[in-house]
Amino acid sequence: MKVPTERVWRCCDRSIDLSTSLVMGIVNVTPDSFSDGGRCFDAAVAIRQGLQLVEDGADLLDIGGESTRPGADDVSEAEELRRVMPVVSGLNGRCGVPISVDTRRPAVARAAIAAGACIINDVMPLTDGPEMADVVRESGCGLVTMHMRGTPKTMLAQAVYEDVVAEVEDCLAAALAQCAARGIARDRVVIDPGIGFAKTTRHNLELMAAVPRLARLAPVLIGASRKRFIGELCDEPAATERLGGSVGAAVWCALHGAAVVRVHDVKATRQALKVAFELDQLDGAR
């Protein structure tokens, strides 16, 4: 899981070592999550889930209060705050790992950072004017900037590309330039090609195969866990039954340069990465 270069991700007062691939555990505080059907919608359950993921080996936690599955409806800012804030506050100081909040709203980002989060995972990066950039710059938090077309409601209709890798690469390079123009230091930013966001199964596979290329731009986060394309490839309609395909995707991407893999099944992914890492080390020593 050696990434292409030695890199550090600056996130508020933390310096996160990206010299080997990290596992980001997912905590969905939503009633309509595609991956678990809302199992962690209750704050107390979500906090227990986050602590369990850390015990299972998560290096980071990503907390989300708005579903971004295809066709998902928006939730209000007030509702997102109601869902997310008790979980961030409940995990801060207890989980021992950096906390990320998956949000596109500056007010949610600002509140989450004040409560102890140090990373903003923005699926619609910096699209609503300068306020989100201001939050990131002023706080010094880490930022995940992701490629996406449209919104969760409309993105399936926009999965049309002539060259998906080149087009996503250009958009991510533009996002990095936009961050720099708004005063966000390069070592604060990780890029995400947006697996499953306005992408077909073929597009997702091409982007994952291009991780070494994308990693030349900036550290790469891959979030493929339990997604629809795995179900299509493996003929498995139930998201919770896509463990094998999800672990396979995470291991492949880690071995080819992904700095972070964002997953639901931390323990299985951690075990698989450990074995793959040991084999890769032996192979590299020959």
220 φ/ψ angles, rounded to the nearest 5 degrees: -110, 135
Token readout for 66 is 């708005």
Q: What is the DSSP letter of 181?
A: H
- What is the distance between the alpha carbons of residues 16 and 7, in angstroms, rounded to a whole number? 9
Question: Which of 227, 228, 242, 270 is labelled catalytic?
Answer: 227
Burial of 161 (0-12, 13-18, 19+ CB in 10 A): middle
Which residue in the list 149, 228, 262, 270 is annotated as catalytic? 262
Does residue 227 have an active-site annotation?
yes
Amino acid at site 209: A
3-class secondary structure, 193 = coil
83 is catalytic: no
Q: Mapping DSSP to helix (H, G, I), strand (E, B) and coil, where does residue 210 land?
A: coil
Strand 60-64, strand 99-102: pairing: parallel
Q: Which one-letter DSSP state was computed for residue 19?
A: S
The count of C-alpha atoms lying within 13 angstroms of the C-alpha of 145, restricted to the half-sphere facing its C-beta, is 29
Edge-to-edge strand ranges of the sheet holding 142-146: 189-192, 142-146, 119-122, 99-102, 60-64, 22-28, 260-263, 221-222
Nearest-angstrom CA–CA distance, 196 and 273: 22
Query: Which amino acids are annotated catalytic?
Result: 227, 262
